[in-house]
Amino acid sequence: MPEYYDYVLGLIPVSVAGISAALLGLGLSMTVAVPLSLLAAIGLIGHAMFVNGPVEEIPPTAQTTANSRDASGFSAD
């Protein structure tokens, strides 16, 4: 089943081609339309990296043992 990042990867070329075509249809030149459409692609990439970034979930057992140790690596008990 496709997930968020699969959609983002698919939307990057679709947004570049679609927005470029729309801007060309509005009468803008190719040298203006393509960079403007790339801004949308950069926005998608930025959202995927920084807003909804990939994070690895830590299992509860590893998380509790990591929290119970001090900086020297010894248990606080």
Domain that holds residue 46: 4-53
Please check the confidence at residue 66 and state whether its pLDDT lies above 80.
no
The pLDDT value given to residue 32: 96
Say if pTM beats, i.e. exceeds, 0.85: no
Q: Are 13 and 38 in contact (CB under 8 A)?
A: no
Residue 71 within a domain: no
Tell me which amino acid residue 45 is. Answer: I
Residue 36 within a domain: yes
Please check the confidence at residue 64 and state whether its pLDDT lies above 70.
no
Residue 76 within a domain: no
Residue 65 within a domain: no
**Tens digit of each residue's pLDDT (9 = 90 or more) over 7-47:** 999 999 999 999 999 999 999 999 999 999 999 999 999 99
Q: How many domains does the chain have?
A: 1
Q: Are 30 and 24 in contact (CB under 8 A)?
A: yes
Q: Are 46 and 59 in contact (CB under 8 A)?
A: no
* Residue with the larger pLDDT of the pair 13 and 68: 13
CA–CA distance, 59 with 15 (Å, rounded to integer): 37
Residue 64 within a domain: no
Residue 40 within a domain: yes
Residue 73 within a domain: no
The pLDDT value given to residue 56: 78
